[in-house]
Amino acid sequence: MASKGQKFASYSLEFKNEVLEAYKSGKYGGRDQVAKHYNISSATIWNWISKERKQGNLENDINHKRGHHKKPVSLDDWKERYEILKKYQAFLKAQRERK
């Protein structure tokens, strides 16, 4: 578990791809040996492998962290959200008045 104030390393897409290629090719052996060679945690490599399998590539992971995965919200969506909030506020007001 992360402790308060702990800093996490961030790795470039090129570095991640290089490490994954070394792992896939078996250049240095298994995951533990690759981690030792690149001086990173074997769990980090495991996370990258898992994400690559789920998403197909690591580029999606980089974009996801930067918020590029969000779709722009249309005006109609904002209006619908606003109406829902107004109804919810009216509901909460009625609940408070009952007490």
Q: Identify which has the larger pLDDT, 69 or 87.
A: 87
Task: Provide the domain limits for residue 59.
Answer: 13-98
Q: What is the CATH number of the domain that holds 32?
A: 1.10.10
Q: What is the mean pLDDT of residues 66-70?
A: 53
Q: What is the pLDDT of residue 59?
A: 55
* pLDDT band at 58; cut points 50, 70, 90: low
Domain membership of residue 69 (yes or no) is yes
Q: What is the mean pLDDT of residues 68-81?
A: 79
**Is 91 a residue whose pLDDT tops 60?**
yes
Cα 54–Cα 19–Cα 49 angle in degrees, nearest 5: 20
Domain membership of residue 1 (yes or no) is no
Number of structural domains the chain divides into: 1
Query: Which regions of the chain does DSSP assign to beta strands (E)?
Result: none
Domain membership of residue 7 (yes or no) is no
Domain membership of residue 48 (yes or no) is yes
Q: What is the mean pLDDT of residues 75-88?
A: 94
CA atoms within 13 A on the CB side of 80: 5
Count Cβ atoms within 10 A of the Cβ of residue 16 and give its class: 0-12 exposed, 13-18 middle, 19 or more buried: buried
Give pLDDT tens digits for 46-57: 888 888 888 776
Domain membership of residue 40 (yes or no) is yes
Q: What is the mean pLDDT of the chain?
A: 83
* pLDDT band at 96; cut points 50, 70, 90: very high
